[in-house]
Structures are given as C-alpha cells and as structure tokens.
Chains A and B, each alone.
Chain A
Amino acid sequence: MSAAATAKSRTAQKGKVRQFITPEGVDLELRIASSGLRFGALIVDISLIVVILFLFSLLMLWVGFASQSSIAISIWLLGFFVLRTFWFIGFELGQRAATPGKRLMGIRVVARDGGRLTADAVVARNLIRELELFLPLMMLGFGAGEDTVSGWTVLAGLLWSLTLSLFLLFNKDRMRMGDLIAGTWVVMAQRSKLDRDIAAEAEASGPMQFTDAELAVYGIFELQELERVLRIREPRAMREVADTIRAKIGRPVAEEDDVFLLSYYRQLKARLERKLLFGKRREDKYASD
C-alpha cells in the first residue's frame, strides 16, 4: 500500500471514532458501524422474520384445518403484527441491545448522550423504521396501482422517500432517521478474545540481536501489522514479510522465518514501548524517529 493510501485509510478509521467518556473518565472510543454492516444486519433480520413468519403461517394453517375454526386467522394476524413491530424492539431492549442480525455483524445500539438506552428510545427508533422500509415500497405500489398518477409523480415520490430511507448515507455518524429521533447511535461492539502474548513467548526464542539502526526503520503501524501476521501464522505471508524486513535491514536469510520475525517483533516492540514511556509515539515508518 502506498503511503498516501495508508494515511488516507487511517484518517478514515479515525473519522469513525467517537469520544465516549465514562464517569470514570476513560474514553471508550466507540467506533460508528459502517453502512454496509447496518445493511447486512437488516438483511439478516428480515430473512429471519420471513422464515419465522413462514413457519408460523404453516403452523396456523395446520391449526386452522385441524380445529375447523377461524381463530387461527386472528392469531395469524396478531402474530404477524407482533413479529413485524416488536422483533426489533424486543431484541434491542435486551442486555446486548442488538437484534440477531446486529449481533452477527458485531454492532449494537447505544444512546448518543452516553446514558442508558431507554425503552422509549428503542421504540421510537424502530417505529420510524416502519416508515423508512415501507414508504418507498408504498410509493412504488401506488404508482403501479393507479393509472392516474404519472410516472414522474411516482419517481418523485420514490426519490423523496428514498432520501428518508437512505438518510444514513448522508451523515457522518451513520444515523438513520430513527436514530436521529431517538437519540441513538449504532456502534461496533465486536468481542475480541484475549490472545496470547507473543512478545513474552519470544523471550525464550533464540539469541538473535538487532542493532538500534536495524530497529529504527519501522513504527507502530508496521509493528501491529507484523503482530497480525504473527498471530495468523500463515507460512506464505510470514515468508513474504520476513523477506521484506531482511531486505530492508540488509540481513541474510539465516534463520527460520518465524524465529526471525518473533525476535524482530519483540525487540521492535520493546524499543517502541520504551520510547512511548518517554512520551514519543512514532505512528509509522514515515514519522521521524
């Protein structure tokens, strides 16, 4: 990746981070969920609703035929209404403030002011969803149903309703209309397992020593990329990274790739962390040492 592109993607990442200070005074640095994730979550939820509705309809058909009464129709009507209206509300009121789709995507709803997510906010944001999803469909249906309405009117209506539905794309906080009105945000809430400490492991591995000049070529960004490669442990990627580093610092191929990378990682990390303690944070290899 070129320097400019890297820098650009990093500022984009930074633009998504929102300050969120807990009463203890620690900034949790919430990251706004991307529109793609939001859309994915919606698709998952809608598919689940459709599947459940289908099964429910089959069940009600069976009940209807078995009992020879029309009560099944009522139950179906009410069930459909409850499912459609309260699927989102019910799940978002739970401990994890996320529907199954959102959980799958690793996102959740939070109150924008940092307070707790109240039931009324959840209700408001999800009743607006009704409008965002169905208004464009209604506009289309309107056009198809009535001959008197001209194509242009339908198009105008559709465009108008789409600006509401796609409101999320037009603001940097990725708020839907419903989020705006309920005072909520959707943020990343990915779990991440506590992985082993690879620097500590490397302590025992080999007497390789790098000089200060050899370690001075990289910054934090490169260190963390190296960490990623070391955690995935994919031989081809490791070989490629090891070769790049060897070429850069001018070392011959003498050791196994993983031994070389681990000790380089450990010493680079120790060096950068030492500098960090002295208040010098070198973001990447382009920053001055």
Chain B
Amino acid sequence: MIAPAAAALDAPSFSTSRFRAEREADWIAFDALLTRLEKRGAKGLSSEELLQLPVLYRATLSSLSIARATSLDKALLDHLEALSMRGYFLIYGVRQSRLDRLTRFFTRDWPLAVQAVWKETLIIALVIILGALTSWLLVTNQPEWFYNFIPEELAGGRDPRATTEFLRQTIGHGPAAAEEESGGLHIFASYLFTHNSRVSIMSFALGFAFGVPTMMLEFYQGINLGAIVAVFTGKGLGYDFGGWLFIHGTTELFAAALSGAAGLRIGAAVVFPGARSRLQAASDAGRTAGKVMVGVILMLLVAGLLEGFGRQLITDTLMRYGIGTLMLIFWLGYYYVPRRSAAT
C-alpha cells in the first residue's frame, strides 16, 4: 500500500491515485469505527471517537462525490458507496437507546396509537356486537340455529340440548370442575394466548383488502359469542356465564376490536387516502397499526393469563365481574385519558 501511495504523491497534477492516497486513511478509519459501532453499539466507542464519527462520515461522503465525478475505478466507487450507505444508516438511524424507546412506547406511542384509531375501534366493536346480537336472537328464538354457527365438535357439548347441570359445570361451578382443570392451567393459558394472537394478527393483516375480510372475521367472532351466550341464557345461567366470560372477555374482546381496528385503518387509508398519495397513506396507517398490534399482543397475553389462571382459580361470579370491570376501566383509562401533546 505504502509504496504506490508515495509514488502517487509525486505525480505532477491531479490524479485519482493521488486523490485516493490523500483520503484513504479517512475511509479506513471510518470503516473501523462503523464495524465497532455495529458490533458493540455506541458504548464501544470513546467520546473522542464518537465526535470523530460525523467528521469522518462527511469526509467519506465528500470523497464519494469527488470519486463519482473524477474516478473510473469501479472497486473504489463500490467501496465508497457501500461505506457511505452503511455510515448513513448508522448515523441517522439510531437516535434513542432501547430503554428510551421502550418507555416511550408504553407512555406515549402505544396509547396514542390506540387513541388515533378510536373511530375504527367503535366500528369494529359495533360489528362484533351486531354479530353477537344476531346470533343471540336467532338461537334464543330457534335453538336449531346454533348448529349453523358452531360446529358440533367445537362446542364440546355446550349446545342447546345440554342439561343445565352440565352447563353449570363447564363454567366452573359444581363438583367436577375444580379438580379437572387445575392441572394444566398454564398449558391452557399459553395455548389461548398463542391462538388468539394468531387470529388477531390475521384480522389485522387482512385489513389491507379494504377492511372487508377484517369486518367479516370480527362479525364471525361476534356470531360465535352470541350463539354460546344464547345457550346459557336459555337455561337461566346468563348471570353466571357472564362472569365466566367477563373476567378475561373485557381484555380479550377489547384486543380483538383493536386488532380489527388496526386492519380497518389500513383498509380505509387505501380506499380514502385523502390529500396524500395512496402509498403514503398506506404506510402512515401501517405504522400506527403496527404500534396498536404490539399492544394487542400484550393485551392478549394478559387475557390469556386471566383466562387460563384467573378464571379457573376464581369461581365466585361477583369476583369475576369485579376483575373484568377493573380490567376494562384500566384499559380505557390507559388509552383514552388525554395526554399532553408534548413534542419530543
């Protein structure tokens, strides 16, 4: 390296060899700093090196501009391009520490994103309620409808033909319930969590097809809910079943509505982009929806725990209602209590 560089410096006028010999040290230093930054983050660099970083970055970018205008050395151009690109994304890419990002997500980004989709949330909630009411009315008036909504093998015997006694057992009242279920609670909880997350992710992801599949999916969820409720209310177990459902249902249905709302937001943005371009609208909506979805997965984790553990261990109906209501109040407060619109 040294011999040709020295030779190049002797060259009479501007030459690309000379250009390279003068600047090469900067590129090598920048490359070394970037490699360490990538491996160990900002902690890997001393404060002096951190101060050097933008200087070297600008030097490299300026070299790239000059090289593009004067040099025909492909290897040199490629190297400078790759180096500038790496530098750009590292220097402009990281502005916050992970902890900062995390606190910011919980204190601002998550609730604000949920707030932003309140209209969609209302619509989806209405869709779910409409589905539930439809099937509840149908099944209450004509129990045969139940079999149209829920396949028999899924119902597990909880259909209009079941006895009151059996139904009472399935919601955790009565002799058989306690010992049967206490064994694999955590399996049950984790199964419920992963399953529900899958469904929510789907209902979110289907949103871009103008939100139609999302609404269908949510309506279907409502239908299932209404049909089961109708079975229990028909036997006069409405109050107890309500508690069984309420303890986790407030969290889970809320999460389901939010995932649908996130999907609907994207669908709506694609159909009605407003003043923005369709692509821009879709990506804006996608980012809001992405935040909401992280929140939804966390909510479903809570719901899974409540359903798997809470519901099986707490059998008192009033208590169940209490916990469910508390959870609902907590979520509503967390999301919709107005926050200062601090600009950071």
Contact = CB atoms under 8 A, between A and B. Distances in A.
Contact of B82 (A77, A96, A119, A189): A189
Given A24-B58, A130-B202, A276-B69, A181 B1 contact: no
Which of A110, A120, A182, A193 has the most C-beta atoms of chain B within 10 angstroms of its own C-beta?
Answer: A120
Report, as a range, how many residues of chain B touch the other chain: 35 or more
Interface string A190-225: 111111110111011000000000000000100110
A248 B197 CA distance: 68
Contacts, number: 198
B205 A131 contact: yes
A85 interface: yes
Which of A95, A108, A116, A228 has the most C-beta atoms of chain B within 10 angstroms of its own C-beta?
Answer: A95
B85 A189 contact: yes
Contact of B76 (A74, A189, A194): A194
Interface stretch (A25-33, A48-56, A251-259): A25-33
A30 B85 contact: yes
B286 A181 contact: yes
B119 interface: no
A127 B5 contact: no
A72 B189 CA distance: 13
Given A26-B65, A78-B190, A196-B1, A116 B95 contact: yes
B294 interface: yes
A129 to B, nearest CB: 8
Interface stretch (B16-24, B166-174, B243-251, B321-329): B16-24
Nearest to A89: B294
A73 B190 CA distance: 9
B81 A95 contact: no
B76 A183 contact: no
A173 B194 CA distance: 34
B107 to A, nearest CB: 15
Contacts of B105: 119
Contact of B290 (A24, A127, A220): A127
Contacts of A277: 14, 70
Interface of A: 22-24, 26, 28-30, 70-71, 73-74, 77-78, 80-81, 85, 95-97, 108, 110, 112, 115-125, 127-128, 130-131, 177, 180-184, 189-197, 199-201, 203-204, 220, 223-224, 227-228, 231, 269-270, 272-273, 276-277
Sorted from nearest, which 9 A-B pairs have the closest CB atoms?
A183-B283, A124-B290, A181-B286, A131-B205, A120-B290, A200-B4, A123-B290, A195-B75, A200-B17
27 contacts: A24-B58, A28-B84, A74-B186, A81-B197, A108-B89, A115-B92, A116-B94, A119-B290, A119-B294, A124-B289, A127-B293, A131-B201, A182-B287, A183-B286, A193-B79, A194-B24, A194-B76, A195-B76, A196-B1, A200-B8, A201-B4, A227-B73, A228-B74, A273-B70, A273-B71, A277-B14, A277-B70
